[in-house]
């Protein structure tokens, strides 16, 4: 009864006791050891293998706990009789029937863009805020302070609504935008992402539809798929949702709400003008449909004049507003918020409680301390300055490098802008060339509800500095010009042929 053990401590291999247990499990499963067969004593086997007796004892203990062997005091250790049903079925792996919603979600996931590229590739694809700007030490100090002051209380379950100090601090910030918010109207979420899911679930259940802008944030399309909800597109025109289309869509009985990003739209980078916001609310009111305002980048305005959020213009309670620290500070605290009113707040709390009982008080309390101390405002000042410089670098580079027929948006805040190539382009198909040329971007198809090809693409200010932006935009422009030379646009052809 000797067998090979792998004893090299650094190979990351199995611990010796697990190797022993695995050996016997294998022998039993292969039928070389049968029910009633006697195993060597712990002392014998330890001597044979040259290992500690405790090691063998732990292995036997595991085999015993998992039902492969049983020890009888005074008689020895024997292979157990397996249950008939288990023995016959043990080899056939079980194929669980997944919910049809999950199957559809897996299809959705498979179509996700994978950005595999060498490390030096300029990252103009991602909206993860720049880690070199995170106030790590300040946040660590805030964590220490709140844990020191409030101790174990912070490690209990918190209220499903979230830490009261952070809700109060957020409500104060929201009031400064003209909203009528209080700590009671704010519910904390795991980033805006969970906020989106909870807001959708407030109004819509599997089989229902939700109106979304087209293009829209791709993860909203994923959230809709995961909930069994259909996306009904409202086209963006001139940087704001088309109100005629919105009115028509909201009249449909199956459409339960409108999800919109009026401030620094993702992926467009545009903002809905004030008058347009008012008209949008009037349309939603006339249709009797709630509006989910995703104000995830509201704090990142670096140019132009602030426009009040929809929630500040809404005196009736049409709007449920999502905010987040993920883009303006860092995503790692996983803290966002929903501002709502009345019965909607009760419904949110019930949904949040049924989802996870509530978020982490520790991180919420540390964020509250950071906000109240002015750390967040100081950080915003720094980030806005950085983003303005990067936007200007990007606009300059685009103007300098891009051929005629290419257009782009000029955001006044946030992390992204949109580039529209001539109609003949499919930017998903362009991406591999761009990666080879040294730049990543987010192709437009993924922001469409049906993922049909798009000639648009999203560029990000989040991760690249001014020099990288110049290099990245130049590389992208080179790829675009090469394509145009290889296959000139039809409209150019026609102009030539006339």
Which residues inside 272-331 make contact with its own copies, applying CB under 8 A?
A: 274, 278-279, 281-282, 285-286, 288, 290, 306-308, 312-313, 315-318, 326, 330-331
What is the Cα–Cα distance from 214 to 226, expressed in whole angstroms?
19
Question: Residue 489 CB, nearest distance to its own copies (Å)?
Answer: 38
Nearer to its own copies, 197 or 437 (CB): 197
Angle among Cα 454, 458, 460 to the nearest 5 degrees reads 170
Nearer to its own copies, 218 or 458 (CB): 218
Q: Does 190 bind its own copies (CB under 8 A)?
A: yes
Our measurement of the distance from residue 143's CA atom to the centroid of its chain's CA atoms, rounded to an integer in Å, reads 24
Question: Residue 68 CB, nearest distance to its own copies (Å)?
Answer: 9
Q: Which stretch binds its own copies (CB under 8 A): 41-49, 232-240, 358-366, 419-427?
A: 358-366
Please report the beta strands in 59-146, taking only residues with DSSP state E, as ranges in sequence order: 69-72, 76-79, 122-123
For residues 191 and 364, is the Cβ–Cβ distance under 8 A? no
Considering only residues 414 through 453, tell me which ones interact with its own copies, judged by CB under 8 A: none
Which one of residues 1, 136, 467, 487 is an interface residue with its own copies (CB under 8 A)? 136
Query: How many Cα atoms occupy the beta-carbon half-sphere of 180 within 13 Å?
Result: 9
Considering only residues 111 through 130, tell me which ones interact with its own copies, judged by CB under 8 A: 128
Q: Does 208 bind its own copies (CB under 8 A)?
A: yes
Q: Does 85 bind its own copies (CB under 8 A)?
A: yes
Residues contacting residue 385 through CB under 8 Å, at least 6 positions apart: 302
Residue 345 CB neighbours (<10 A): 18
What is the Cα–Cα distance from 354 to 356, expressed in whole angstroms?
6
Question: Residue 9 CB, nearest distance to its own copies (Å)?
Answer: 15
Question: Residue 309 CB, nearest distance to its own copies (Å)?
Answer: 10
Q: Does 86 bind its own copies (CB under 8 A)?
A: yes
Q: Which stretch binds its own copies (CB under 8 A): 354-362, 414-422, 428-436, 440-448?
A: 354-362
Contact characters 5-44, its own copies, x per CB under 8 A: -------------x--------------------------
Q: Which stretch binds its own copies (CB under 8 A): 183-191, 406-414, 454-462, 471-479?
A: 183-191
Residues contacting residue 326 through CB under 8 Å, at least 6 positions apart: 129, 191, 192, 193, 296, 334, 335, 336
Q: Which stretch binds its own copies (CB under 8 A): 2-10, 42-50, 63-71, 442-450?
A: 63-71
Phi, psi of 247 (to 5 degrees): -60, -45
Q: Does 201 bind its own copies (CB under 8 A)?
A: yes
What is the Cα–Cα distance from 443 to 453, expressed in whole angstroms?
9
Query: Considering all CA atoms of the chain, what is the largest pairwise distance in Å, rounded to the nearest integer?
Result: 103
Q: Which stretch binds its own copies (CB under 8 A): 38-46, 154-162, 421-429, 445-453?
A: 154-162
Which one of residues 45, 51, 186, 202 is an interface residue with its own copies (CB under 8 A)? 202
Which one of residues 3, 47, 52, 106 is an interface residue with its own copies (CB under 8 A)? 106
Which one of residues 123, 222, 262, 443 is an interface residue with its own copies (CB under 8 A)? 222
Question: Residue 186 CB, nearest distance to its own copies (Å)?
Answer: 17
Residue 217 DSSP symbol: -
Which one of residues 57, 347, 428, 492 is an interface residue with its own copies (CB under 8 A)? 347
CA distances from 436 to 117, 118, 428, 439, 476 (A): 8, 9, 14, 8, 10
Nearer to its own copies, 176 or 303 (CB): 176
Which one of residues 16, 105, 338, 480 is an interface residue with its own copies (CB under 8 A)? 105
What is the Cα–Cα distance from 426 to 456, expressed in whole angstroms?
8
Which one of residues 20, 79, 117, 139 is an interface residue with its own copies (CB under 8 A)? 139
Binders of its own copies: how many residues, by CB under 8 A?
111
What is the Cα–Cα distance from 341 to 174, expressed in whole angstroms?
14
For residues 215 and 262, is the Cβ–Cβ distance under 8 A? no
Distance, first Cα to last Cα, the chain: 91
For residues 469 and 393, is the Cβ–Cβ distance under 8 A? yes
Nearer to its own copies, 315 or 497 (CB): 315
User: In sequence order, what are the beta bridge partners of 260?
Assistant: 293
For residues 21 and 62, is the Cβ–Cβ distance under 8 A? yes
Considering only residues 244 through 273, tell me which ones interact with its own copies, judged by CB under 8 A: 256
Question: Residue 257 CB, nearest distance to its own copies (Å)?
Answer: 8
Record the tokens describing residue 113, joined without a space.
Answer: 């863009």
Which one of residues 5, 23, 78, 134 is an interface residue with its own copies (CB under 8 A)? 134
Residues contacting residue 457 through CB under 8 Å, at least 6 positions apart: 418, 419, 421, 427, 430, 441, 442, 443, 444
């Amino acid at each position: 009864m000797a067998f090979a053990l792998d004893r090299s401590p650094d190979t990351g291999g199995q611990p010796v006791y697990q190797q022993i247990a695995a050996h016997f499990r294998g022998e039993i499963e292969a039928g070389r050891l049968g029910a009633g067969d006697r195993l060597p004593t712990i002392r014998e086997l330890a001597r044979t293998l040259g290992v500690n007796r405790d090691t063998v004892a732990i292995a036997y203990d595991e085999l015993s706990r998992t039902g492969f062997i049983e020890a009888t005091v005074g008689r020895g250790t024997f292979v157990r009789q397996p249950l008939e049903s288990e023995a016959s079925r043990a080899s056939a792996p079980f194929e669980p029937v997944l919910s049809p919603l999950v199957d559809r979600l897996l299809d959705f996931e498979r179509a996700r863009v994978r950005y595999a590229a060498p490390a030096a590739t300029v990252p103009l694809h991602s909206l993860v805020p720049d880690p070199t700007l995170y106030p790590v030490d300040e946040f660590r100090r805030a964590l220490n302070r709140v844990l020191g002051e409030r101790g174990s209380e912070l490690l209990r379950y918190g209220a499903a609504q979230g830490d009261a100090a952070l809700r109060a601090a957020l409500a104060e910030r929201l009031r400064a935008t003209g909203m009528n918010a209080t700590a009671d109207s704010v519910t904390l979420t795991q980033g805006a992402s969970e906020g989106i899911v909870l807001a959708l679930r407030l109004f819509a259940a599997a089989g229902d539809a939700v109106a979304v802008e087209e293009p829209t944030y791709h993860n909203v399309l994923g959230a809709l798929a995961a909930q069994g909800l259909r996306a009904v597109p409202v086209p963006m025109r001139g940087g704001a949702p088309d109100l005629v289309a919105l009115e028509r869509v909201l009249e449909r009985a199956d459409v339960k709400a409108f999800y919109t990003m009026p401030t620094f739209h993702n992926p467009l980078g545009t903002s809905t003008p004030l008058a347009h916001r008012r008209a949008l609310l009037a349309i939603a009111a006339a249709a009797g449909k709630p509006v989910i305002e995703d104000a995830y980048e509201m704090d990142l305005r670096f140019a132009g004049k602030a426009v009040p959020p929809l929630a500040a213009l809404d005196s009736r309670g049409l709007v449920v507003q999502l905010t987040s620290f993920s883009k303006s500070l860092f995503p790692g605290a996983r803290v966002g918020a929903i501002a709502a009113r009345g019965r909607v707040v009760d419904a949110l709390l019930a949904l949040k409680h049924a989802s996870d009982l509530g978020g982490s008080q520790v991180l919420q309390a540390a964020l509250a301390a950071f906000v109240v101390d002015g750390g967040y405002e100081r950080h915003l000042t720094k980030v806005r300055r950085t983003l303005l410089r990067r936007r200007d670098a990007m606009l300059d580079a685009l103007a300098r490098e891009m051929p005629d027929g290419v257009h782009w948006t000029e955001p006044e805040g946030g992390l992204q802008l949109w580039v529209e190539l001539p109609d003949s382009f499919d930017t998903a198909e362009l991406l591999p060339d761009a990666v080879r040329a040294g730049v990543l971007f987010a192709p437009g198809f993924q922001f469409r509800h049906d993922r049909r090809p798009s000639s648009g693409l999203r560029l990000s200010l989040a991760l690249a500095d001014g020099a990288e932006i110049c290099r990245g935009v130049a590389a992208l422009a080179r790829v675009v010009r090469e394509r145009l030379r290889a296959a000139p646009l039809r409209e150019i052809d026609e102009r030539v042929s006339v």
